[in-house]
Amino acid sequence: MTTNKSLSTVGKRWHFLILLGMLMATTFSSIPTLKTFASNNSNERLETTEANFLAARQALYFKDLRASANFYLAALNLDRNNANLLQQAFYTQYQLGNIDAAAALARDMEVLNITSRSASEPATAQAILMDDWDAVLVLADHIAENVHFQPVAAIIRAWALVAKGQGAAGLSHLLEAGRSNISGDESVSNIFVMQAARLAEYLGNYNEMLTLANQLSIRNDLSSQLIIQIASIYARHDENDKLEQLIVRLPNGFNKSNLQQNLKTQSSPKKIASHISAGIIDVSLVNPQLKANGMLNARLSLALYLDPQLDSANFLLAQALHEMGQKKRAVEQLSAIDAKGIWGQPRLLLQADINRNEDISIALSFLEGSVDKDKTNAFLQKELGDLYRISNSFIKARNAYLKATHLGLISADLDRNLGITFEQLGQDQLAENSFKDALQKNPKDPYTLNYLGYWWADDGRKLDEAIQLIEQAVRLRPRSGYFVDSLGWVHFKLGNLDLAVSFLEQATILEPTDPVINGHLGDAYWAIGRYQEARFKWQYALSIATEDDLKAEFFDKISQ
């Protein structure tokens, strides 16, 4: 028997579903209109909870986190005890970096006995900045209740103990936490050793600091972030040989010519909040769950809340925002980075990459201006050459690559891209020499192996060498449809038609919308007498091709 109460509930739910359907129908029949509304009217407040909720969800779909956060708050203001809205409002505010707002929402959740992961983190940051270390210790314990967050809780707790004058206990707790996360003969995690080294330096225990730094420096799995931190320790204590050995290991995206001087001018942070900030970044970057559930941005924002001058956090957050398609916010974040500091050149390169995705001419103008200001920067010359090559300005690309080589840049990527440019300019011998130079520097570069092998196969020469190169590329990248296509194509050239069809069919599964790959499969079908399937593949390739020469090629095959 159904009670009046349940009937009433069903009625309300049915009414909501009707409203939901009407709103969704309106939404999906005019997506650009809602997208424009969400972007340009993020401070608007709709009349009902349901409408604000749907606007928040739709804004998230369009990756407009700021609008989504505002709509969730508007919905929450109309239904203060809604647990789902409260949690969504908390997470969106946290991801935006509104730490104080997130902390207030977390307190509201606590009053309503709503448990949620990460809820203690914003309040912990507030307590750190207020030097309320007793509260920090309690809150760190709350964070540690989530097994995946125990490493960050251990770092916070260790530094809180240091702040309370219990430095030895803090160091001991940190190393013990590191050991508890390993099994067997594994070494303590890089993150814990790095934080222990920073902590030892802060306490003035220089022997312990150098011992820990030396342990880290010989490991092969260090991130750029960790390399810079160890190098900073060496720079501050005049360990110049070790400093230079570390700088060499950094990616070429860093300006290594002025890096040593930059590091030597940096003093060790005086505020414990800055050390905790660095630890939060390090431990969050190696936590795959944070990136999967969208909370890495929140942690990076938390680090910046503790230390707004931390360039590495600004860069990493800008990079994450760029990957999410939030160009405007990414550019804002990059503007906070010191252009002459350690992260100045990575900032410049990321800015150029953002511009390239919008308009390559803007990216070219931006990078040309940067090269004019730093004419001896070999890596910037190489990056400029890459942009010229992508925009089919091959003579300018070649000149930029040769300038980078003359300035002393030694790079397999540079040799490969120079080889591509020579090949496009018809300078075949120079191209082959560059490809071979690239493979000498990096014999396992699948892109060079595939490009050279495919070039030879497409020209119908050196087929035995070509197939060896492409097979090696496929072994290194078996899920690459382009590499599998190359393997099918070289078998086609060799007359191994059944093998060619098999590989080319696999390639179209891996890359179903590539016109060249579909065209190759059409050629293979035609060669073995499967004419109707060949025509179908050529017609499909024609329908998805965007380049005029490809369209003409497929049209001719279908016509004849």
Q: How confident is the model over 133-148, as pLDDT tens digits?
A: 999 999 999 999 988 8
The answer to whether 378 and 409 are in contact (CB under 8 A) is yes
pTM of the entire predicted model: 0.79
Q: What is the mean pLDDT of residues 297-305?
A: 95
Would you state the torsion angle of the CA atoms of residues 46, 50, 51, 56, taken in this order, to the nearest 10 degrees? 100
In which band, very low, low, confident or very high, does the pLDDT at 22 lie, cut at 50, 70 and 90? very low
* pLDDT at 45 (0 to 100): 58
CA 288 to chain centre: 12
pLDDT digits (tens, 9 = 90+) for 149-183: 999 999 999 999 999 999 999 999 998 988 887 76
* pLDDT at 7 (0 to 100): 29
Compute the distance between CA of residue 271 and CA of residue 193 in angstroms, rounded to an integer. 20
Q: What is the mean pLDDT of residues 309-318?
A: 94
Q: Which residues contact 333 (CB under 8 A, 6 or more apart)?
A: 314, 315, 317, 318, 321
Q: What is the mean pLDDT of residues 23-45?
A: 39
In which band, very low, low, confident or very high, does the pLDDT at 63 lie, cut at 50, 70 and 90? confident
In terms of phi and psi (left: phi > 0; alpha: psi -120 to 50; beta: otherwise), the region of 517 is alpha
Tokens of residue 22, six digits: 């009407």
Q: What domains does the chain contain, in order, with CATH numbers?
A: 12-116 (1.25.40.10), 129-308 (1.25.40), 359-443 (1.25.40.10), 460-560 (1.25.40.10)
Give me the amino acid identity at 286: V
pLDDT digits (tens, 9 = 90+) for 68-87: 999 999 999 998 889 999 99
- Of the chain, the percentage scoring pLDDT greater than 90 comes to 73
Q: Indicate the range of 19-33, 99-113, 216-230 predicted with least confidence.
A: 19-33
Q: Indicate the range of 32-36, 390-394, 523-527, 534-538 predicted with least confidence.
A: 32-36
pLDDT digits (tens, 9 = 90+) for 186-214: 788 999 999 999 999 999 999 999 999 99
In which band, very low, low, confident or very high, does the pLDDT at 66 lie, cut at 50, 70 and 90? confident
> Is the model's pLDDT at 536 over the cut of 70?
yes
- How many Cα neighbours within 13 Å face the side chain of 356? 18
CB neighbours (10 Å) of residue 67?
A: 25
* pLDDT at 39 (0 to 100): 43
* pLDDT at 37 (0 to 100): 40
* pLDDT at 367 (0 to 100): 94
Q: What is the mean pLDDT of residues 226-241?
A: 94
* pLDDT at 183 (0 to 100): 62
* pLDDT at 4 (0 to 100): 38
Residue with tokens 């990414």: 330
Q: What is the mean pLDDT of residues 48-69?
A: 88
* pLDDT at 381 (0 to 100): 96
Q: What is the mean pLDDT of residues 302-321?
A: 94
Give me the amino acid identity at 465: E
Compute the distance between CA of residue 488 and CA of residue 485 in angstroms, rounded to an integer. 5
Tokens of residue 49, six digits: 């909870």
Which of 312, 178, 114, 294 has the alpha carbon at shortest distance from 232?
312
The 3-class SS string of 420-437 reads: HHHHHCCCHHHHHHHHHH
Burial of 32 (0-12, 13-18, 19+ CB in 10 A): exposed
- How many Cα neighbours within 13 Å face the side chain of 553? 15
Mean of pLDDT over the chain: 88
> Is the model's pLDDT at 294 over the cut of 80?
no
Measured in Å, how far apart are the chain's first and last C-alpha atoms? Answer: 74
> Is the model's pLDDT at 343 over the cut of 90?
yes
In terms of phi and psi (left: phi > 0; alpha: psi -120 to 50; beta: otherwise), the region of 310 is beta
* pLDDT at 459 (0 to 100): 92
- Of the chain, the percentage scoring pLDDT greater than 70 comes to 91
